[in-house]
Structure 1
Amino acid sequence: MSGKLTEAEAETYLIERCFTVHRPRRIGVELEWLVRRAGDRAAPVSRELSRSAVAPLEAASPLRGGGLVTREPGGQIELSSRPADSLGALLADVETDLAVLAGALAARGLVIDGNGLDSCRESHRVLDDRRYRAMEAYFSDQPSGRTVMCSTASVQVNLDAGTEHGIFGHRRRWHLAHRLGPVLVASFANSPLRDGRPTGWKSTRQALWFQIDPGRTFPVPDEHDVRAAWARYALDARLLCLKRDAADHWNAPPGLTFRAWLRGEGGERHPTVDDLDYHLGTLFPPVRPRGWLELRMIDAQNGDDWIVPVALCAALFDHPGATVTAWEATEPLAAGRLHPPWETWRLAAREGLDAPAVREAAQACFTAAESALARSGAPAKAQTSLRDFASRYIDRGRTPADDQLPTHQEFSS
């Protein structure tokens, strides 16, 4: 492929690279946390303190368990695992690296916070580089964008895209990810407060994503040809930033899509393959294909509860019986019989498991996952974590967000 892209070359590149087709085997996770001072969750963490705590880990990456440590714009910390060949291997890797991370933070009086949204501190950008300055400028007329950048945290589960056809085919797994999206949003909703007050949403973090640039944050349109749908989505999304060698800013021309840039609009240099790859990393749909599938709709979780969405997804995507059950359980949500599909995502974020149809689907999925993990000989910790979480929340129609609200269901409408 030439250095300077044509529109046709860009479409071909996206279609060929978005799904790496083979038998599902690997699993990974990216864990984000807010960072707080121990004993004072409302106190700000300065840029200098954030850097001094994390810089040695960034320099030492990958850590012993293979993970990479990075910081997000507001000082959130992210631990990205290496791809693992089994759920057990993944948990061992992450727990090894998480112990190192927690120790490095504790040495500077800091702790990680498993909430999906900072409920008491103002959004403040800590990282000062051209990418994040351009992102902040892009969201200058979208206050929710700044909040998402600097004040939210998530659990991102990464799964192989799948085979060419069959029950583990990439098209089916892609559609299953979208069918399960509202279930994952609701089951793990953990961000009901902002400025110390209920927002009316169980997952305010997901609600914030709904409020910014739908061309880069809404789900990819539901089409049979998922490769072509993703290519159109990516090329028609506006540039968030544009890398420049000499300039002191990477602000993109307002309204310029990647497709328009390929066609010579915007008065900028011509884009390259590297530019396209960079652009893909600035798109944030809840399911994002990067050769594998990234599930991006899950709020950060408290303590070791991050294990639960990882184990749940491993079971529902990679075990035949659980996959069939998950597909059937989410049929009422996907078919639009109750709500239009996109509105179901909003319902899940707003009401969590107070929404009866979402609750029923979640309960069926957790039951199927529990059985699949037991049959497959999954690590005892994964089985126990999922079972305990279901007992505390799913079986009772509750979510982690409900622990933070004054009364269950008071703010669910």
Structure 2
Amino acid sequence: MLPPRSLKALKGRGAVTNVQGRYEVNVRETFDDGWLREEDEPRVWRTQVTEETAKSILTRNASPDIPFDLSLNPYRGCEHGCIYCFARPSHSYLGLSPGLDFESKLYAKINAPELLRSELCKPDYAVEPIALGVNTDAYQPVERELRITRRILEVLRECEHPVGLITKSSLIERDIDILAPMAEKRLAAASITLTTLDPKIARTLEPRAASPERRLRTIRTLTEAGIPVGVSIAPIIPFVTEPEIEKVMEAAFDAGAIQASYTVLRLPWEVNPLFQQWLEAHFPDRAQRVMNRVREMHGGKDYDASFDSRMTGQGLWADLIRQRVEKARQRFGMTGRGSRFRQLDCTRFRRPLVVPPVGAKAKRAEAMGQMSLF
């Protein structure tokens, strides 16, 4: 029998393979009979964007370990290609792979701003801060042209609705003209994810996200514009990014971040094999050590989804990480997770005056020659 071929990374992509989703009926395995040549394999995965007309846009969260209850995601799938992304398994619901498909076959909710306006108009809508771009990045590369996130922010600005954003992209700087006046009224806050300061690690870990240096510059730019910025050190990967915890927090603090949060590596569903393939391709010398430590932080399993430990882990190593982060917070005077988000002002909210037609109503209005006011 021939030995298995070594896993090789694809340029500009985080996943090494296109693993099957957990809902697939048929299981397929690659078998090398010696005839397949390396150059015969497709090595280029081009990004495809499908416009989607969503039926709903706000997601309510009941998880006790997450500091927000309401979120909005303009996109499904994310071109940043972060190998550790907990949202990857959601592509299985679409009949697609959480691997390369997740970062190359994207869905854009083109009617998101209109749906949001319709939601905010409902008499029973109770205002609370909306977390924008939590599942997949609202500022991933396709946003540069589609501008769905910007249109959403325009609706929130009009209604004086509080919003918190989290991103790895410098594209958020484009919307400072909206975010800065909102921040002045305590209606906007941002968090920049900064996993590592090493550009080589970042290039494989988060291949199409902004470089660490560029993200630090984004923190500085937003801070200078008066927008409160936090840093999310997520995830902390033992023996890969874990040695940099204090350096990342210090660099973010020097750039202007006033809050710091973290999570340890989580490997739900298909993220587990994808991450282990990534380790084999990029860090074969320490792959076993990394996984041994991950299991130690999750009670001997690759992943434990319990609310009390899934974000921070358990055991000695998890406790050491918690202590390191807490001491660094005290040293730099940074607050903990979700503090800025909870301080956003919900008292200014005012409902939109006019709701544009949405979905079938919009099509009927267009057929009758009726023009939208927005």
TM-score (norm 2): 0.23
Greater C-alpha radius of gyration: 2
TM-score (norm 1): 0.22
